[in-house]
Chain A
Amino acid sequence: MARIGVVVFPGSNCEYDAFSAVTSLGAQAQFIWHSQTDLDGVDGVILPGGFAHGDYLRPGALARFSPVMEAVAAFASAGGAVLGICNGFQVLTEAGLLPGALQKNRGLTFLCQPTTVIVESTNSVLTRGATQGEELVIPINHFSGSYTCDDATLASLEANNQIVLRYKDNPNGSRADIAGVSNVDGNVVGLMPHPERAMSTLLGSADGRVLLEGFVHAPVGAR
């Protein structure tokens, strides 16, 4: 059974949602405090949403220097499955583990609403169980979710199939409607929408399951 570590920074607030989503998919979950210097041998890592270190300076700017991030970087470069959700995505871009950056939303308002995303690439640990072109309804909940990058980065994202999800109706001004990207190898993924909050039709949508199911079972036997 896959064991997934959920990193907890001071100010994280979606760690229980992520924990519960992982266990509901039949995998084991455990919290990893940000001051830990190793990942305790987990099979995959989730950086959850929230406001790590208060989001002071910029979202993710201080969290990237938390001791655990060196272990996350080493795990990622060894091919380990790493997923950053919302604030976790911001941390991964600040840490240089994913290209680009997240800026304030185009309308300068906090957005909390369901969004429809389109699966662009299935070549990632998050989307490997989904179908290309599939539309998923997943909520967003962010102020700084506008994905930005320069022309050269966008061209390489497109060329290497690193855009994993796009918004159907761009809510925040993200460049090229990007909702989630991966690294070149597809083992590190970040997205602004919250799949861990779309696990049950009773609570609005279960479309996050296909993504997280792929992720929690990706580590075992992958790469």
Chain B
Amino acid sequence: MNYPVVVEVTLRDGIADPEGATIEKALPALGFTGVARVRAGKSFRMEIDAVDESAALEKATALAERLLSNPVIENAVARSAVGS
């Protein structure tokens, strides 16, 4: 069966994020106050053929660590996208 999965890749804590910082600085000018700690990242959607959802998530985590993220600077989290 195919399981829909989302992988989110974000910069690790302590790694400078000039994109997130620039977005955060732009927000007050647009009237959005009280927004802090903006971090930019990437999200990937995919369908994974697996025996069950936990096997699908395991596979997604493995491919996220091997290809979708650079573990030197990024974290990757896989979660189910059923119903989203």
Q: How far is the CA of A94 from the CA of B16 in the complex (A)?
A: 18
CB within 8 Å of A: which residues of B?
14-16, 18-19, 22, 67-68, 70, 72-73
How many chain A residues sit at the interface, stated as a range, is 20 to 34
Known: A104-B18, A104-B19. 11 other contacts (CB 8 A): A65-B67, A99-B72, A101-B70, A101-B72, A103-B15, A103-B16, A105-B18, A107-B18, A108-B18, A150-B14, A150-B72
| B-contacting residues, A154-176, CB 8 Å | 173
Q: Are B73 and A103 in contact (CB under 8 A)?
A: yes
CB contact under 8 A between A173 and B16, given known A100-B72, A108-B22, A148-B73: yes
Query: Hey, what's the 0/1 contact readout for A190-201 against B, CB within 8 Å counting as 1?
Result: 000000000000
Residue of B nearest to A107 (CB): B18
A121 within 8 A of B: no
Q: Are B18 and A93 in contact (CB under 8 A)?
A: no
Residue of B nearest to A99 (CB): B72
In the complex, what residues of B have CB within 8 A of residue A103's CB? 15-16, 18, 73
Residue of B nearest to A104 (CB): B18
In the complex, what residues of A have CB within 8 A of residue B72's CB? 93, 99-101, 148-150
User: In angstroms, how far is the closest chain A Cβ from the Cβ of B68?
Assistant: 7
In the complex, what residues of B have CB within 8 A of residue A203's CB? none
Choice from B14, B18, B73 contacting A106 with Cβ under 8 Å: B18
User: In angstroms, how far is the closest chain A Cβ from the Cβ of B50?
Assistant: 23
22 contacts across the A-B interface (CB closer than 8 A): A57-B68, A61-B67, A61-B70, A65-B67, A93-B72, A100-B72, A101-B73, A103-B15, A103-B16, A103-B18, A104-B18, A106-B16, A106-B18, A108-B19, A108-B22, A146-B16, A148-B16, A148-B73, A150-B14, A150-B72, A173-B16, A173-B18
Q: How far is the CA of A69 from the CA of B31 in the complex (A)?
A: 49
Q: How far is the CA of A131 from the CA of B15 in the complex (A)?
A: 33
User: In angstroms, how far is the closest chain A Cβ from the Cβ of B19?
Assistant: 7
Q: How far is the CA of A142 from the CA of B18 in the complex (A)?
A: 16
In the complex, what residues of B have CB within 8 A of residue A58's CB? 70
Q: How far is the CA of A62 from the CA of B11 in the complex (A)?
A: 19
In the complex, what residues of B have CB within 8 A of residue A107's CB? 18
Residue of A nearest to B68 (CB): A57
Residue of B nearest to A172 (CB): B18
Query: Hey, what's the 0/1 contact readout for A14-41 against B, CB within 8 Å counting as 1?
Result: 0000000000000000000000000000
In the complex, what residues of B have CB within 8 A of residue A106's CB? 16, 18
Q: How far is the CA of A163 from the CA of B39 in the complex (A)?
A: 29
With most chain B CB atoms within 10 A of its CB, the pick from A93, A94, A101, A103 is: A103
In the complex, what residues of B have CB within 8 A of residue A61's CB? 67, 70
In the complex, what residues of A have CB within 8 A of residue B68's CB? 57
